[in-house]
Amino acid sequence: MRPRVLMAMSGGIDSGVAAMLLREQGYDLVGVTFRTFDSITESCMAREKGCCSVDSIFEAKHLAESLGFEHHILDARDVFRRTVIQNFVDEYLRGRTPNPCVLCNPIIKWGELLRMADELHCDKLATGHYARIGECDGRHYLRKGADTLKDQTYFLWRLTSDNLARTIFPLGDLTKPQVRELAAGHGFVKLSQKKESEEICFVPDNNYRNFLKENVPDLEARMPHGEFVSVDGRVLGEHEGLYNYTIGQRRGLGIALGAPAYVVALDGPNNRVVIGEKQHLQSRSLLVERPILTKYDDFADGFEVSCRIRYRNAGTAARLYHADGAIRVEFDQPVESVTPGQSAVFYEGDDVVGGGVIVG
């Protein structure tokens, strides 16, 4: 008898095909879709979309029923707002650029859902992520998905060995085109053609600035206008509040340097946006806080890895060094637009060694 599995379903093609595959392999499935936010606000009245909308919940429920297993809805709106959304707001107020998916995964998908798995007597949790799991000496760690264009390990680095020991990634060895073919081959043609959204799920109009204005009543007072300054400290003009800018931004600055101008730093303590040329975006090192190691318990200074500093980043050869509870990353070649608040994830081949949040 195969284990009883809680299947996290978004209503999309990936979790749908994952469920089909596990069902065919004889697993006893229980479907669940979580509700994390209300995306229709008084000011924008935007139509809900994404993985947690009302439409997606009903699509997931219908798919589970079509495949012949029960489906539950988990209301996680309160914990999601207190943790993921609050962190998103707090990070912008600190002059950093957050990645909410990195926090949502351990708190909601492997936090709330694993608790629900226990309540429903499920041994495992399955998702539609493009990732794989390795094991060595009883330690479980992430491995890149076979589809290099869809690999999602960058967002999953905070998962622990205990989390992964209870996890199944049915799509880890598949490519997206293969997943679409499987959906169509199982008779779900409409699902096989469904488009994906890469927007932040709780910002349905894809405008995080509007979201901050709606959720931080005193935003303008807490993040007032300030100075644009050059890399050598010259005042260049007035910015409209730090939350409006991110590292590497070029458009909408209204600053002339005689060359293309970029945001190269956000100076929160002095309420300044530092402007420079493209060369000033280059960095040879960075520092991460709250690091989590997955493949190993520890490492020796100088440990060689490939470090990714954003999702669509192929990775750059680097070395890791301990730094008073943090990790300093030194790159073999300069990297561009190191952004505090984003994640740096360390790889050894296809294996995830660990990661942390960039602080500088």
The verdict on residue 268 lying in a domain is yes
Q: What is the pTM assigned to this prediction?
A: 0.91
pLDDT of residue 300: 97
Coarse DSSP helix, strand, coil percentages of the chain, rounded to the nearest 5 percent? 30, 30, 40
Position 2 confidence tier, pLDDT thresholds 50, 70, 90: confident
Last residue of a domain, one of 276, 302, 321: 276
Q: What does the DSSP 8-state code read for residue 46?
A: P
d(CA 29, CA 181): 22
| Contact criterion met (CB below 8 Å) for 333 and 341 | no
Residue 35 clears pLDDT 60, i.e. is over it: yes
CATH code of 81's domain: 3.40.50.620
pLDDT of residue 41: 44
Sorted by sequence, the CB contacts under 8 Å of residue 57 that are 6+ apart come out as 11, 33, 35, 73
Position 1 confidence tier, pLDDT thresholds 50, 70, 90: low
d(CA 262, CA 273): 10
The verdict on residue 134 lying in a domain is no
d(CA 103, CA 155): 8
**Beta-strand pair 226-230/272-276:** parallel
CATH code of 232's domain: 2.30.30.280
Structural domain boundaries enclosing 299: 283-358
pLDDT of residue 14: 96
Do both 95 and 35 map to the same domain? yes
Do both 177 and 49 map to the same domain? yes
Residue 68 φ then ψ, to 5°: 90, 30
Do both 290 and 319 map to the same domain? yes
The verdict on residue 19 lying in a domain is yes
Do both 175 and 297 map to the same domain? no
The verdict on residue 201 lying in a domain is no
d(CA 39, CA 53): 8
Do both 186 and 68 map to the same domain? yes
pLDDT of residue 56: 82
Do both 71 and 178 map to the same domain? yes
Sorted by sequence, the CB contacts under 8 Å of residue 255 that are 6+ apart come out as 228, 236, 237, 261, 275
d(CA 242, CA 246): 8
Do both 316 and 336 map to the same domain? yes
d(CA 80, CA 100): 10
The verdict on residue 144 lying in a domain is no
pLDDT of residue 51: 55
The verdict on residue 212 lying in a domain is no
Sorted by sequence, the CB contacts under 8 Å of residue 45 that are 6+ apart come out as none
Tokens at residue 32, please? 């669940």
The verdict on residue 343 lying in a domain is yes
d(CA 269, CA 311): 28
Residue 17 clears pLDDT 90, i.e. is over it: yes
**Beta-strand pair 303-308/343-348:** antiparallel
The whole-number average pLDDT for the span 243-260 is 89
Do both 57 and 188 map to the same domain? yes
Position 202 confidence tier, pLDDT thresholds 50, 70, 90: confident
Tokens at residue 194, please? 């469904």
At 293 the three-state DSSP class reads strand
Q: List residues with catalytic annotation.
A: 104, 201
Position 301 confidence tier, pLDDT thresholds 50, 70, 90: very high
Residue 286 φ then ψ, to 5°: -155, 165
CA distances from 36 to 40, 82, 109, 271, 320 (A): 13, 11, 11, 33, 36
Residue 313 clears pLDDT 80, i.e. is over it: yes
Q: Which of 285, 293, 289, 292 is nearest to 338 (CA)?
A: 285
pLDDT in tens, 52-63: 567 788 899 999
- Structural domains counted in the chain: 3
Do both 124 and 72 map to the same domain? yes
Query: Which amino acid belongs to residue 240?
Result: E
At 228 the three-state DSSP class reads strand
CATH code of 310's domain: 2.40.30.10
Do both 8 and 101 map to the same domain? yes
Do both 177 and 322 map to the same domain? no
Q: Which of 24, 34, 28, 23 is nearest to 6 (CA)?
A: 28
pLDDT of residue 247: 96
Do both 177 and 312 map to the same domain? no
The whole-number average pLDDT for the span 228-238 is 94
| Contact criterion met (CB below 8 Å) for 57 and 73 | yes
The verdict on residue 13 lying in a domain is yes
Least trusted range by pLDDT, from 15-29, 115-129, 186-200, 280-294: 186-200
